[in-house]
Amino acid sequence: MEWNVIRLDEVDSTNEYAKKLIPDVSEGTVVVAKRQTSGRGRKGRAWASPEGGLWMSVILKPPMIDPRLVFVGALAVSDTLRDFGIGAWIKWPNDVWVGNRKISGVLTEVKGDFVIMGVGLNVNNEIPDGLKETATSMMEALGEPVDIGEVLERLLEYLGRWYKTFLENPPLVVEEVRGRTMLIGKEVRVLLDGNDLVGRVITISDDGSLILDVDGQTVKVVYGDVSVRINR
Ligand code: ATP
Ligand code: BTN
């Protein structure tokens, strides 16, 4: 993939900025900002984006809109972290965690035939007060700041590779997520809209869904606005 990087000092949200470029833009355009004033997670939840972190959105035009595309982002982040000596796991469907703290989140949005894949990765930024218990950064994990340019370079390299794998063979992407998720066998609470499910994770199926054992019944949870909490 040929990446064409647009660098901004400040923006509301790189996803919003990228959305405005569509459709007059080609696949592979990347928007990176030093800080976001209104970074967002799923369901419009706030995403803290102070200077020092990597906040970016890549514009893709896949032949089909597929929820498994979010895994491309999570795998690329996890590979990048590994290159810097940080072991991470993927929390289905869209987060990357180091131990019991979130270091990165992926937000994919669709506009027409395009997909905007937003990736937020805490690199050298401060973790805001309210998130200190639940979030971490590369700097915190390593005890020293890292070269953010190098992080971006690696991340784009891995995004290109995993996107290629996704286009050729989506189940291969899922297989890799399965191996890196740590959720399998765990008891989790899945927060669906006002309707929580507690069950043991059996697997992630090839279509990208989370398969749970809920009181002996097999239940399939499809990607959507669902959050997973580990009970034990
Ligand atoms: P969770 O990440 O709690 O499992 P989720 O994946 O459903 O839940 P999202 O809405 O996808 O949550 O992500 C937004 C959440 O991420 C916010 O509610 C906040 O708790 C957390 N968050 C916000 N900014 C950051 C950040 N810079 N680093 C880590 N976590 C953050
Ligand atoms: C999540 O865990 O909910 C996903 C968070 C995604 C944050 C990134 S930062 C770059 C891009 N711009 C945004 O406003 N959100 C994504």
Tens digit of each residue's pLDDT (9 = 90 or more) over 147-193: 999 999 999 999 999 999 999 999 999 999 999 998 999 999 998 87
- Specify the ligand 2 atom closest to the Cα of 94: 2
Spans of all domains in the chain: 4-179, 187-230
pLDDT tens across 21-40, in order?
A: 999 999 999 999 999 999 99
Phi/psi at 151 (5° precision): -65, -45
What sign for the dihedral angle of Cα 222, 133, 87, 116? positive
Model-level pTM?
Answer: 0.96
Q: Look at residues 21, 40, 42 and name the one whose alpha carbon lies nearest to residue 31.
A: 21
Mean of the per-residue pLDDT values of the chain: 96
- Ligand number nearest CA of 189 is 1
Q: Which residue among 42, 45, 91, 136 is best mutated to probe the pocket of ligand 1, counting the most ligand atoms within 8 A of its Cβ? A: 45
Fold of 187-230: SH3 type barrels. (2.30.30)
Q: Which atom of ligand 2 is nearest to the CA of 45?
A: 3
All residue ranges of the chain with pLDDT < 70 are 232
Architecture of the domain made up of 4-179: 2-Layer Sandwich (3.30)
Pocket of ligand 1 (CB under 6 A): 41-43, 45, 47-48, 94-95, 102, 105, 120, 122, 131, 135, 227
Return the ligand 2 atom nearest residue 106 CA. Answer: 4
Q: What whole-number percentage of the chain has pLDDT above 70?
A: 99
Tell me the C-alpha distance between 160 and 143, whole Å.
29
Which of 14, 110, 20 minimizes the C-alpha distance to 70? 110
Phi, psi of 172 (to 5 degrees): -65, -35
Predicted local confidence at residue 232, as pLDDT: 65
